[in-house]
Every structure is written in C-alpha cells, then in structure tokens.
C-alpha cells in the first residue's frame, strides 16, 4: 500500500481538517503584543495559558498554549490592569470631572479618557493597550445609512435609536469637553471630534466587562459597572461554551473559569451571553453562525397579514395579546415557530363561537383541531413570505456589493445575518410541514 494512503492516514487527515478552523497562527511575535505583554508584566500580570493568534473564522483571538480542563482558570487579570472610572478620576481629567456640574456619566468619563489617551500617543501610559484596540467598529451605529436600511426591520429600528442616542450623547457633552481646553494645545473640537467619540463609545460598548456597581460623588447616578480589561478582551464569543466570570475581591483579579475543556493550540472562547444575532450585531458588531439563540422576528404587520379581514373580533384579539405581552418577541427559531408565536396565532384564529376560550389559549390549552390547523396554516404562510423577503434582500445585497466596493465589509456582515435567518426559516418551514401533516 502506498505510504500515507491507509486508514490511519485518513483518520489523521480528517482530524487535521476538523481542527483547521480552530487552530490559529500565533501573533505573539508582533511588536504590539510584545509591548502589551511587557506593560501587563509591569502591572503584575503574566499569562501562561494563552497567546494572541489569528484564526480563519473569528480573526484575532487567544489560543491555548496547553490543554485546558473543565473548571480551569482561563485568565486572572489584576485590578491594576483594569481601566475603570477610578482610573479616570486618578488621571489629570479627575480635577475637571469633579468640578463639572451636573456630574458627568460614568460612560462619558470612560470615553473622555480613551479619546484623551489616544490623542496623547506615545505619552500615554495606556499606549500598549490602545495600540491593539480596533481602529474602527462594525456596529450598526458605524454603518452607512443605506446599509442600515437593509437590516431586518426590528434591528433597523434599534440601530436608528442607537445612532440617535450616540448623537445626543455627543451633543450634550460638548460643553464638558470645552472645559478641558487647558489640558490640550489643540482646540478641543479637534480632539473630541464626532468620529473620535464614536470610536471611544464603541470601544466601551463592545469590549467592557461587568463589575459590581461603584459610586463616585463626582459622577452621575447612572450605573458605574463597566471596565475595560486589556488582553482579556481579546477572547472571542461562542454561544456553545460556558464560563464563570467575575471580579474576585479576595484575589483582586477579574477571573474567568471555563466550564468546558479545550485542546492545545485551539482558540479559547468565552460566552458574552445567550444573545440572538440581532443583539450580537447591535452591541458587538458581529454575527455568530449557527447560533442556537438566533431567531427571526415576526412583526405585527406580518402577524395579521394572512388573517381574514372579515373577523369583527380582530381588534379585541389584538388588544388581548397586547395586554398579555403577546405582541412582542414572536419568532421562528431552529426548532420552528416559537410557542409565543403559535399561541398568538391560535388566539387570532379563534372562531367567533370559541372567542370566550381566549384565556385557555394563553394557558396553552388545545381548543380544537380546527384552531390548531388554522394557526399552523397561517404560520406556514408567514414563514414562506419571510423566506421570499429574505431571499430578495440577499439578492439586493449581493448586487450592492458589486456596485458599492467601499461598503463591501458592511454589506458582507449584513448578508451573513440574512443568510443565517434564511437557514432558520427553511428549517422552520420543514418543521411546520411535519406539524401540519400530523393534523391531516
């Protein structure tokens, strides 16, 4: 038998193939990471478990140097490495923050510090950390309006709210920035530009870890729970892992322990939370393929689209659903239509003589085979319509990628989101076929 053609060789090749996506290329030799490691060492942190690496599926992340077992500590970052509002108040900004009325928010304090330190360049004590931060972000707030317009309607609405919130945040902070002029040779308008503040806002929102609330009299009463965690924030998200993460007062470290094992030279993940892809994109700027928490939202307009217009009790039914919280979070998921969606449809499909049974419907009781079948038929029509709409948007995005070369990265992210939703809808359609066949 020719060398390398036997069963053992095939097994080795299959294992290499399975591991190819999870294995990364070390970046620990790069100057920015050498500087960061030295900076961290000076703050009493040395890592023996992880090294920075680049992965084909997730980009830059952290790779295990040795096998990690369930329950093992992934990382323990000392408080001296964390960037919090305490850090800001101890800096040259502290005097100005203390004097300013009304008190700035914790978020404004962190954003101001980031912009100020970024502007300081080589003079900043935080330069090694700032140098490894992204220079731009992919959150919808950073997308061009024409790209935001391609997002699913519920996400588009939240993205527009987010953009308005950031604009108001910037506008309301200008007077505070003006008070900082003595700290800068340049005009503060050039230092604290809209783009620099957006960068700082995204840095905090996409990379901060949660700490137990602190209280500073010189800051507003808004929750002060965010901390930036250099090096630790290189850990990427996976919905398929479980970790325990918290600040340990006894050790003075922010600690993360894994609840699953990890092989040598694989990417080490943490889980940001059981979030669907809409929230991941809105808050962190990415989409998680095959996310078990992903879903497709059904709008009110779509919910009632295929219901008979002759139903005189329709307005009453919708009011009942509203009053009992059944007009929100109606979804299709990997296991088909959600219980909430089917329950809403069952109530909407109640015949006139069965209308008094609406409380039983909300409790999950079966009213009749006719009602069950009608609700599944409507769900199937909604699902098919959403498949058509999703396919049309994907075609439009594909065309725009050819026409708008400068927006390719943003459009690719949007296409990934829609492609995941299409998969969910296709799975849901098959599930509905099975449910309907069982009632036939």
pLDDT in tens, 245-293: 999 999 999 999 988 888 999 999 999 999 999 999 999 999 999 999 9
Burial tier of 257 (Cβ tally within 10 Å: 0-12, 13-18, 19+): middle
pLDDT of 10 higher than 80: no
Residue among 5, 269, 230 at smallest CA distance from 131: 230
- pLDDT(435) > 50: yes
Return the structure tokens found at 301.
Answer: 């307009």
Instruction: Take residue 203 and report the two structure tokens written for it.
Output: 């840095």
SS3 assignment for 318-370: HHHHHHCCCCCCCEEECCEECHHHHHHHHHHCCCHHHHHHHHHHHCCCCCCHH
Q: At 439, is the pLDDT very low, low, confident or very high (cuts 50, 70, 90)?
A: confident
Give 345-348 contacts, CB < 8 A, sequence gap 24+.
Answer: 345/303, 345/375, 345/378, 345/379, 346/371, 346/372, 346/375, 347/317, 347/320, 347/321, 348/303, 348/304, 348/307, 348/314, 348/317, 348/318, 348/321, 348/375, 348/378
Q: What is the C-alpha to C-alpha distance for residues 13 and 7, in angstroms, rounded to an integer?
A: 10
Encode pLDDT of 292-328 as tens digits.
Answer: 999 999 999 999 999 988 888 999 999 999 999 999 9
The answer on pLDDT for 90 being more than 90 is yes
pLDDT of residue 17 exceeding 50: no
| Three-class DSSP category at 157 | helix
Where is average pLDDT lowest: 16-30, 143-157, 316-330? 16-30
Instruction: Give the pLDDT confidence of 317-373 residue by residue, as tens digits.
Output: 999 999 999 999 999 999 999 999 999 999 999 999 999 999 999 999 999 999 999
Confidence tier at 2 by pLDDT (50, 70, 90): very low
pLDDT band with cut points at 50, 70 and 90 for residue 21: low
Question: How high does pLDDT run on average in the chain?
Answer: 93
pLDDT of 9 over the 60 cut: no
Mean pLDDT, residues 51-76:
93
- The reported pLDDT for the residue numbered 18 is 43
**What is the mean pLDDT of the segment spanning 116-129?**
97
The string of pLDDT tens digits covering residues 368-396 is 999 999 999 999 999 999 999 999 999 99
């Amino acid at each position: 038998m020719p060398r390398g053609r036997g069963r053992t060789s095939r097994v080795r090749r299959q294992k290499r193939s399975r591991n190819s996506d999870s294995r990364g290329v070390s970046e620990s030799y790069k100057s920015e990471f050498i500087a960061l490691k030295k900076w961290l060492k000076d703050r009493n942190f040395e890592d023996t478990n992880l090294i920075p690496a680049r992965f084909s599926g997730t980009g830059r992340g952290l790779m295990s140097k040795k096998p990690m077992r369930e329950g093992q500590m992934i990382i323990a970052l000392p408080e001296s490495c964390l960037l919090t509002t305490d850090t800001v108040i101890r800096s040259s900004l502290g005097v100005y923050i203390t004097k300013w009325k009304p008190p700035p928010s914790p978020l404004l304090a962190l954003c101001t510090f980031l912009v100020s330190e970024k502007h300081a360049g080589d003079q900043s004590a935080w330069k090694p950390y700032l140098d490894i931060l992204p220079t731009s972000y992919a959150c919808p707030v950073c997308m061009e309006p024409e790209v935001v317009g391609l997002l699913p309607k519920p996400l588009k609405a939240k993205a527009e709210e987010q953009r308005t919130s950031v604009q108001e945040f910037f506008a309301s902070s200008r007077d505070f920035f003006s008070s900082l002029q003595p700290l800068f040779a340049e005009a503060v308008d050039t230092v604290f530009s809209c783009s620099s503040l957006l960068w700082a806002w995204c840095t905090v929102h996409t990379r901060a870890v949660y700490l137990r609330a602190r209280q500073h009299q010189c800051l507003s009463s808004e929750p002060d729970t965010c901390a930036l965690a250099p090096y630790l924030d290189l850990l990427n998200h996976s919905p398929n892992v479980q970790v325990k993460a918290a600040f340990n007062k006894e050790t003075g470290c922010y600690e993360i322990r894994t609840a699953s094992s990890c092989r040598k030279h694989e990417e080490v993940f943490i889980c940001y939370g059981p979030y669907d892809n809409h929230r991941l994109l809105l808050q962190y700027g990415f989409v998680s393929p095959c996310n078990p928490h992903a879903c497709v939202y059904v709008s009110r307009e779509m919910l009632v689209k295929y219901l008979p217009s002759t139903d005189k009790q329709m307005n009453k039914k919708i009011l009942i659903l509203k009053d009992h919280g059944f007009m929100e979070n109606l979804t299709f998921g990997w296991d088909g239509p959600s219980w909430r969606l089917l329950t809403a449809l069952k109530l909407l499909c109640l015949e006139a003589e069965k209308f008094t049974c609406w409380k039983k419907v909300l409790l999950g009781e079966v009213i009749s085979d006719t009602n069950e079948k009608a609700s599944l038929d409507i769900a199937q029509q909604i699902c098919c319509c959403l498949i058509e709409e999703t396919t049309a948007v994907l075609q439009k995005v594909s065309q725009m990628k050819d026409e708008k070369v400068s927006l390719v990265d943003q459009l690719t992210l949007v296409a990934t989101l829609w492609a995941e939703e299409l998969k969910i809808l296709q799975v849901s359609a098959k599930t509905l076929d099975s449910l309907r066949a069982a009632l036939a």
